[in-house]
Structures are given as structure tokens and as C-alpha cells.
């Protein structure tokens, strides 16, 4: 079974440019999450999709970030325009279960997209 796939694995862009990150969750997983780790900080939640709907986007840093999940399959996270502080690793994760007490072992992480803004 294929795991969570992220593309690109690495990206270097100039300040002011646009970057789009893609995540393909595990097939059949309704829940898709985006997380981010910036240098020296902990991994932080960005947003959560249930199928194609945004369940929560309280972790999105500002309106330069736009996430979509058309059709409830893959998701994209666009940063426009990119700033230096956006550099970091963007992780996508997916899970099948959702409820009052979900299990961490149902959340599978991708290998991350490493973004460097120069």
C-alpha cells in the first residue's frame, strides 16, 4: 500500500515567488492534515480537511497560504507570495478515523516538502 506522498521533496524559490506543494494521501483516507516545521521550532498544525471540506484552518499563518482539496483526493498548499519566514518543512498526513478520541497510530505522515525561500 502506498503511503502519503508529497511533491516536491525540495524547493528553493526567491522571495515573492509562488510555490505549490502537493500531497497525495493514502487511498481511502478522508482526513488530510498539513503541518509545518520551521527551523528550531516544533511541528505545528496548519489545517485539516475531511474529504474536500476544510474542517479547521486555525493554524494557517496568514492569507498568503491557500489550501485546497478538490474532489476529496489530493491536496495542494500554495504560498503566494513567499516570504523568508515561510522556509521550513511542510508535512502532510492522512488518517481514516475521526472521532472524539482518534488514535495517533492511524495518522500517517509523508516525508515532507522542504521549502527554502531566499
Give the binding range for other proteins (CB under 8 A) out of 21-29, 60-68, 72-80, 90-98.
90-98
C-alpha distances out from residue 14 to 83, 90, 116, Å:
8, 17, 8
Residue 8 — φ and ψ, nearest 5°?
Answer: -80, 165
Q: Are 34 and 77 in contact (CB under 8 A)?
A: yes
Q: Write out the binding residues for other proteins, residues 13-42 only, by CB under 8 A.
A: 33, 35, 41-42
Tell me how far, at minimum, the Cβ of 52 lies from other proteins, in Å: 15
User: Are the C-beta atoms of 117 and 84 separated by less than 8 Å?
Assistant: yes
Residue 104 interacts with other proteins (CB under 8 A): yes or no: yes
Interface size with other proteins, residues (CB under 8 A) = 28
Asked if 112 is part of the footprint of other proteins (rule: CB under 8 A), the reply reads yes
Which helix (DSSP H) or strand (DSSP E) does residue 82 occupy? none
Where along the sequence are the contacts to other proteins (CB under 8 A)? Answer: 4, 33, 35, 41-45, 48, 55-56, 58-59, 91, 93, 98, 100-105, 107-112
Amino acid at each position: 500500500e502506498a503511503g502519503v506522498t508529497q511533491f516536491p521533496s525540495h524547493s528553493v524559490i526567491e522571495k515573492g515567488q509562488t510555490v505549490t506543494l502537493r500531497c497525495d494521501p493514502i487511498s481511502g483516507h478522508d482526513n488530510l492534515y498539513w503541518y509545518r516545521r520551521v527551523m528550531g521550532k516544533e511541528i505545528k498544525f496548519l489545517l485539516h480537511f475531511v474529504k474536500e471540506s476544510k474542517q479547521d484552518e486555525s493554524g494557517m499563518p496568514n492569507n498568503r497560504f491557500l489550501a485546497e482539496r478538490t474532489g476529496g483526493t489530493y491536496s495542494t498548499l500554495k504560498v503566494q507570495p513567499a516570504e523568508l519566514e515561510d522556509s521550513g518543512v511542510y508535512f502532510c498526513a492522512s488518517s481514516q478515523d475521526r472521532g472524539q478520541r482518534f488514535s495517533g497510530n492511524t495518522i500517517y505522515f509523508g516525508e515532507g516538502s522542504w521549502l527554502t525561500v531566499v
